Amino acid sequence: MNISIFGLGYVGCVSLGCLAKNGHNVVGVDVSQTKVNQINNGLPTIIEKDIDVIIKEQFEAQRIRATTDFKEAIFNTEISIVAVGTPTGPNGHLNLDYIFNVANNLGEVLKEKNDFHIIAIRSTVMPGTSDKFAAIVEEVSGKKHGKDFAMVSNPEFLREGTAVKDYYNPPITLIGSHFRDAATKLASIYDQLPGEVVLTDVKVAEIMKYVNNTYHALKISFANEIGNICNALQIDSHSVMDIFCKDKELNISNYYFKPGFAYGGSCLPKDLKGLQTLAHDLYIKAPVIESIDKTNNIQIQRVIDLIVSQKKQKLGFLGLSFKAGTDDLRNSPAVVVIETLLGKGYDISIYDKNVQVSRLTGTNKEYIDAHIPHLSKLMVNDIHEIMDKYEVIVVNNNEKEYADTLATWIGTATIIDLVRIDERVRQKPVYKGINW
């Protein structure tokens, strides 16, 4: 395939060489004559393991070249990959001038080009950039997005120092587009690479680099705070974290990575507080660990604000315990939400079969009587008492009974979902999710 790459920096140079090595004809485009000359002399524009050998080999095989002439490059290729820089400005926002300069250039050329053209943004950009890019191309060229050209988001996940290895061994190849045919065609240039090809929404693809790298920064900071605490206690922090990483069921897994309501229960709040207190007593600053419960409290307040914004007074809650399949009310965030709303004068009823059974059998009666006797008076025995009488129904945990009942329920009450319930319910016009 004939491919043009805009920007011959880190991502552009690696992509140029590696795509050529996989059999494509690739032309690099850059405003820097120095970088163009380097490529046209068989030399890389960066220092990176193995890329010098690849650039030299592919130049000699006549599969790569470079130019400052963007018109010639676009006319003679079917895919343009945008890999220009997106530096951070003084206010923290990205400088997208280079990106949108490329959009103007592409628009000028596509005005005269009849063949369908695919534009893939490989640069790190904020969600919405691909759509803005497409709008500029449409305005300048007079062509139609989806008919004459198509935008694709194709973020890179290359680490400096191992970029070539990362290119050829991606855990996934991520492609986002409004147009599946364009996404599939772009995916074909990566056919020789291992790892799953994930086709997704444009904005999902655009935000992933930020999510990934922020999480990597969080991991490093978390590990360092644990290391500082361990060091103060003369504990080998590497032994601690080596054991931590052996648990692939919970610690290194997707188990807790489900956006939704706040955490609760007997373990997480208690043990977090214990570690925070330990760090404090050791005079160790641990801002990441100190902020965890603050974020949790923000999520609880988010739910309260969402419910209040409905401007309805009659509220029915499905679930009181902190998660499905249990009657445990200790540190249940639903209890905090309900108590706050009761204080604001809301009319509330609660249905939770597990809590109701435990209250009647005495297994949880002592806790209820000691801590939330006022809430036990609000509980009903039949889920339909909630469904038929209330203006807002809040789903607090993911019991199958709630999904089954709501899926067949016909009513006008607003459903506020805190747990991402069954898709049958999410499709209802009265449905609202907490953060999806």
More confident residue, 365 or 58: 58
Residue at token pair 């050998």: 53
In this predicted structure, the answer to whether residue 29 has a pLDDT above a threshold of 70 is yes
The pLDDT value given to residue 361 = 66
Mean pLDDT of 260-281: 93
Indicate the pLDDT class of residue 373, thresholds 50, 70 and 90.
confident
Residues 80 and 78: their CA atoms lie apart, in Å, by 7
**What's the farthest any 2 CA atoms get from each other in the chain?**
82
Q: What's phi and psi for 414, nearest 5 deg? A: -75, 130
Q: Residue 407: what are its φ and ψ, rounded to 5°?
A: -65, -35
Superfamily of domain 2-200: NAD(P)-binding Rossmann-like Domain (3.40.50.720)
Query: 2-200 and 298-433 share one CATH topology?
Result: yes
> 110: pLDDT confidence band, cut at 50, 70 and 90?
very high
Highest mean pLDDT among 10-14, 158-162, 262-266 belongs to 10-14
pLDDT given for residue 363 in this prediction: 66
Q: Does domain 298-433 match CATH 2.60.120.10? A: no
**pLDDT average, residue stretch 294-309:** 96
**In the chain, domain spans:** 2-200, 204-257, 298-433
Q: Identify the H or E element spanning 407.
A: helix 400-408
**Calpha distance 410→388 (Å, rounded):** 10
Residues 6 or more apart whose Cβ sits within 8 Å of residue 191:
none
Q: What confidence category does residue 50 fall into, taking pLDDT thresholds of 50, 70 and 90?
A: very high
pLDDT at 91: 81
**Is 344 a residue whose pLDDT tops 80?**
yes
User: 360 pLDDT band (50/70/90 cuts)?
Assistant: low
Q: How is residue 162 annotated by DSSP?
A: S
pLDDT at 332 over 80: yes
Give the N- to C-terminal CA distance of the chain in Å, as an integer: 38
At residue 404, does pLDDT exceed 80? yes
319 sits in the region (left: phi over 0; alpha: psi -120 to 50; else beta) called left
Return mean pLDDT, the chain: 94
pTM of structure: 0.88
Which residue type is seen at 4?
Answer: S
For position 225, what pLDDT does the model report?
97
Please calculate the CA angle 123-128-134 and round it to the nearest 5 degrees.
80
The Cα–Cα gap between 35 and 27 comes to: 12
pLDDT for position 359: 67
Q: Which residues are catalytic?
A: 267
How far is C-alpha 131 from the geometric centre of its chain's CA atoms? 19
Q: Is 416 helix (H, G, I), strand (E, B) or coil?
A: strand
